[in-house]
């Protein structure tokens, strides 16, 4: 499947497996947008100029919904205002920057920006008019990432004891605090909760001093600093504007886990300064119990990491106490030893028509995220189902019973082996090529075990036999159908399994197969004994039932506002997953299922065109004249009209053959 990083800058990358949403906007109202936003940012929501007293907009920076910017463009910030907090799909803890663009009159500021754990900076706070405001309590509380704050521009002289409580509590990364005589940090019964200890990724600080202090003469504790800005009517606070900074206590060293071979620690399996299971900082020169420090994230499987043939659920370091090296600019590796485990054995014994037995057994490494079954070259004679046996987890049965039961009616041994191996594996969430996918694999507990055995016995070939494969016998009693071949140029694709190939007589070609999830050009169609085949090579054909024809179409689709769109495979079998309403997806092809167009949104998953509409991403503004009709995502007139003005649009949607600009989540206007 394809994914874009933003709605405006596109990149294409085929990702095998997994369904990944595109971070497109979910607007609340249609409104003019701030010209201060970066052209690569994606609008997620904004205020309605006709209804909201406060004008604001919220954007995903470069399309990243984990990194948001909130623009406040003026108006009245009323008590308990929740506008941007109510935007669907927006997590306010992901706001990293707040920008005031115009005068904003404040009301009750209690908790207004509290709990914004990713907030690092606030710009133009001088636009916030706090004259006569009494309640600043918890205003910036628990903004753990906030690094600098200029309160000098705020008038806090009307605040009372309760109104300053815990205004700065939990702001443990604050490295700069600018104050003026108008600021109040402490009253008779409480204070703003300024931390005395500040901890960043590289440094631990304790106490505070003025930023221009070179000898430490202005150093004081947080309690003393808050006392300096005590609430009193005589303004005994410092008259000048001062920037206060925390005092360095010690430095930290960055450390990361590096998984290595237990027998050869120079062999690195995973982990360097840029790609690792997570970097953590420790005080330099301290002794640290690494196992406990990384509790829940120490073993590879706890980080969704699996290395072919190595243990994942434990390590060879039950204890791992180390001395942290001195601080420098680089991150340092913590070697974690992993032992190689015995592979899983799959027993395959073949007895040919002459009674000669050959061992085709093979092994599969544990924790192999890249494993795929490779076909075995079986004899072309007829398989004796009564004498052949299959053993699954220690239970043996004749292939006659196996193929007559509910497990499989297929007598192709490669298909049986591939299917049963997958069934005996455990699906794990694994980090593969930079993204997390659900992958079947054998795990630590399967090491050295034998979950599957096949004893294949073949019959002797009679002299009058047609020579067809015993697994795909098309002999119809002497009335041999030579088949009908017609031209049929198309592109076909395989699904989640390798697909067997046949010659023009319908005989299995045991040494050849089409890889799973692969695309092929086909030029001819064969109908033989009622079975349809497509040609993919000079004398190699694939059954039509094993593949699907498709047409390429690089596009985007969006799920209708009122739908939960179920996903199906190319055989129209529903998966256990679906697409949420109003979510956006990249598609590279479509297929026809019973006359309905289906778009591919994942490697083996398709969504019906009844549940989505196609669109083209753009980044533009449309100038609207008064009275333009607004339509929903079905092209139905909503009975509403759009007021005149300039509107940001992120896409041109094609609905029932008509093009529309999207100006809000489920609001569209026709392209003139």
What is the C-alpha separation between 456 and 462, in angstroms, rounded? 19
Q: How many CB atoms lie within 10 A of CB 496?
A: 12
pLDDT tens sequence across 342-395: 999 999 999 988 889 999 999 999 999 988 888 888 887 788 888 999 999 999
Distant-in-sequence, close-in-space partners of 143: CB < 8 Å, separation ≥ 6? 113, 114, 115, 116, 117, 119, 170, 171
Distant-in-sequence, close-in-space partners of 581: CB < 8 Å, separation ≥ 6? 559, 560, 561, 562, 563, 564
pLDDT of residue 126: 95
Calculate the dihedral angle through the C-alpha atoms of 269, 273, 277, 282, rounding to the nearest 10 degrees: 130
Beta strand 128-129 with 547-559 is unpaired
* Alpha helices (H) along 241-363: 290-293
pLDDT of residue 576: 85
- Helix, strand or coil, per DSSP, at residue 672: coil
* Structural contact between residues 655 and 661, judged by C-beta atoms closer than 8 angstroms: no
pTM of the entire structure?
A: 0.50
pLDDT of residue 613: 95
pLDDT of residue 299: 93
pLDDT of residue 509: 87
Helix, strand and coil percent figures for the chain, each rounded to 5: 10, 40, 50
Q: Could you give the C-alpha distances from 417 to 314, 387, 453, 470, 542, in angstroms and in order?
A: 30, 17, 9, 17, 20
- Those residues of the chain that have pLDDT short of 70 are 1-40, 233-234, 318, 405-411, 461-481
Long-range contacts at 37-45 (CB < 8 A, ≥ 24 apart): 37/69, 37/71, 38/62, 39/8, 39/619, 40/6, 40/8, 40/9, 41/6, 41/69, 42/6, 42/7, 42/8, 42/650, 43/648, 43/650, 44/68, 44/87, 44/89, 44/90, 45/84, 45/87, 45/88, 45/90
Q: What is the separation of C-alpha 357 from the centre of its chain, rounded to a whole number of angstroms?
A: 49
Q: How many CB atoms lie within 10 A of CB 224?
A: 13
The three-state (H, E, C) secondary structure of 568-620, written as one string: ECCCCCEEEEEECCCCEEEEEEEEEECCEEEEEEECCEEEECCCEEEEEEEEE
Domain 462-557+592-603 fold: SH3 type barrels. (2.30.30)
pLDDT of residue 405: 59
């Amino acid at each position: 499947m394809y994914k874009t990083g933003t709605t405006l800058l596109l990149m294409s990358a085929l990702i095998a497996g997994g369904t990944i949403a595109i971070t497109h906007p979910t607007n609340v109202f249609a409104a003019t947008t701030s010209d201060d936003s970066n052209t690569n940012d994606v609008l997620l929501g904004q205020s309605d100029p006709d209804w909201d007293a406060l004008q604001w907009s919220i954007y995903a920076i470069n399309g990243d919904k984990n990194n948001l910017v909130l623009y406040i463009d003026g108006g009245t910030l009323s008590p308990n205002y929740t506008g941007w907090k109510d935007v669907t799909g927006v997590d306010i803890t992901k706001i990293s920057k707040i920008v005031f663009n115009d005068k904003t009159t404040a009301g009750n500021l209690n908790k207004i920006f509290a709990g914004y754990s990713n907030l690092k900076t606030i710009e133009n706070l001088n636009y916030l008019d706090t004259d006569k405001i009494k309640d600043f309590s918890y205003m910036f509380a628990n903004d753990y990432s906030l690094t600098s704050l200029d309160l000098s521009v705020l008038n806090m002289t009307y605040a009372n004891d309760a109104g300053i409580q815990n205004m700065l509590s939990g702001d443990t990364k604050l490295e700069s605090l600018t104050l003026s005589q108008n600021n109040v940090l402490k009253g008779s019964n409480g204070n703003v909760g300024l931390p005395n200890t500040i901890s960043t990724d590289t440094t631990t600080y304790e106490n505070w001093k003025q930023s221009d202090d070179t000898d430490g003469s202005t150093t004081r504790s947080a309690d003393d600093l808050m006392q300096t800005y005590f609430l009193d009517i005589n303004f005994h606070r410092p008259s000048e504007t001062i920037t206060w900074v925390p005092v360095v206590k010690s430095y930290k060293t960055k450390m990361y886990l590096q998984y290595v071979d237990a027998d050869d620690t120079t062999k690195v399996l995973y982990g360097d300064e840029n790609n690792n299971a997570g970097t953590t900082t420790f005080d330099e020169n301290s002794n640290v119990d690494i196992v406990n420090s990384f509790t829940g994230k120490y073993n590879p499987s706890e980080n969704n990491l699996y290395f072919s043939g190595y243990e994942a659920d434990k390590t060879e370091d039950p204890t791992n106490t180390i001395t942290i090296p001195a601080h420098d600019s680089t991150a340092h590796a913590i070697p974690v030893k992993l032992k190689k485990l015995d592979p899983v054995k799959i027993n395959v014994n073949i007895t040919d028509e002459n009674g000669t037995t050959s061992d085709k057994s093979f092994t599969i490494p544990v924790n192999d995220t890249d494993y795929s079954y490779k076909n075995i070259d079986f004899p072309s004679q007829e398989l004796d189902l009564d004498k052949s046996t299959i053993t699954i987890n220690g239970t043996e049965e004749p292939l006659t019973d196996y193929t007559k039961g509910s497990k499989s009616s297929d007598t192709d041994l490669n298909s049986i082996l591939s299917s049963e191996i997958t069934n005996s594996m455990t699906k794990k969430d694994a980090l593969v090529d930079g993204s997390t996918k659900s992958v079947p694999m054998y795990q630590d507990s399967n090491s050295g075990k034998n979950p599957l055995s096949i004893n294949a016995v073949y019959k002797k070939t009679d002299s009058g036999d047609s020579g067809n494969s015993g697994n795909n016998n098309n002999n119809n009693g002497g009335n041999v159908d030579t088949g009908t071949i017609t031209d049929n140029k198309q592109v076909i694709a395989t699904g989640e399994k390798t697909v067997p190939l046949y010659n023009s007589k319908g005989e299995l070609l045991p040494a050849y197969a089409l890889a799973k999830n692969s695309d092929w050009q086909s030029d001819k169609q064969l109908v033989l004994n009622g079975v349809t085949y497509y040609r993919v090579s000079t004398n190699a054909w694939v059954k039509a039932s094993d593949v699907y024809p498709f047409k390429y179409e690089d596009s985007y689709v969006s799920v209708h506002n009122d739908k939960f769109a179920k996903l199906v495979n190319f055989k129209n079998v529903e998966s256990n997953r679906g697409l949420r309403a109003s979510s956006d997806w990249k598609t590279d092809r479509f297929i026809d299922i019973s006359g309905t167009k289906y778009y591919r949104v994942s490697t083996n998953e398709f969504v019906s065109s009844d549940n989505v509409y196609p669109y083209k991403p753009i980044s533009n503004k449309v100038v609207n004249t008064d009275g333009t009709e607004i339509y929903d995502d079905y092209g139905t007139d909503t009975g509403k009209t759009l007021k005149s003005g300039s509107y940001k649009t992120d896409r041109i949607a094609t609905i029932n053959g008509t093009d529309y600009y999207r100006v809000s989540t489920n609001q569209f206007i026709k392209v003139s």
